[in-house]
Amino acid sequence: MARLCYKAVLEGRGFKPKVFDESKPVEELPERFQRVSVEPDTKAIRQALESGEELDFARLGDRGASIRIT
């Protein structure tokens, strides 16, 4: 008769989880715990270009073409 033997181990894993109070607005955190991200406003850039404004950092490219088969 075969005898099966199993072993179970319970272990802690990884780092302790970070628990945030999400009811507190991010703006109220100390500056050293904030991250600021700046990105281009592509909608405003497109509107400026389409209205004829010349920008030295952006331009309107040529439209692409596609084939639609229905």
The model's pLDDT over 11-65, given as tens digits with 9 standing for 90+, comes to 888 888 888 888 989 899 999 999 999 999 999 999 999 999 999 999 999 988 9
Q: 3-state class of 7 per DSSP?
A: coil
Calpha distance 53→45 (Å, rounded):
9
Domain residue extents for the chain:
1-34
According to the model, what pLDDT value does residue 22 have? 87
Q: 3-state class of 58 per DSSP?
A: strand
Question: What DSSP state is assigned to residue 30?
Answer: -
Q: 3-state class of 31 per DSSP?
A: helix
